[in-house]
Amino acid sequence: MSGIHSAIIPNAAGCDSMITLIFTIGQGSTETIIETACDSYTWALTGQNYTSTDLYSVTLTNAAGCDSILNLNLTINSANTGMSLIGDVTLQAKQVQRATNG
């Protein structure tokens, strides 16, 4: 618990001594960013390259000096290279979403 905490203990000479501790317990934090990419995504924060839809996390230290969890909610889409001819001049590509790991 944050606050001022004191204790009276005997010192080496047998006399009472008071020890006072003043401290604050900081709060951790959690943030989530949402990204969508085609085929792969490189998270600039970690340099890690991802090719699957998933939730990825990294633990950092926040401004209060406490653990901070940053989540990357990532969706990876891939293009279907199959093409279809509509009329005589229009080509249309289909997009599919990769399955989630796990």
Other C-beta atoms lying within 10 Å of the C-beta of residue 75? 15
Residue 45 domain-assigned (yes or no)? yes
Q: Is the pTM of this model over 0.75?
A: no
Residue 44 domain-assigned (yes or no)? yes
Domain that holds residue 76: 27-97
Q: For the chain, which ranges sit under pLDDT 50?
A: 102
CA distance 101 to 21: 48
pLDDT given for residue 94 in this prediction: 66
Give me the DSSP letters along 38-90.
Answer: ES-EE-TTT--EE-SBEEEEEEEE-TTSSEEEEEEEEEEEEEEEEEEEETTTE
Residue 37 domain-assigned (yes or no)? yes
Query: What's the chain's Rg over C-alpha atoms?
Result: 27
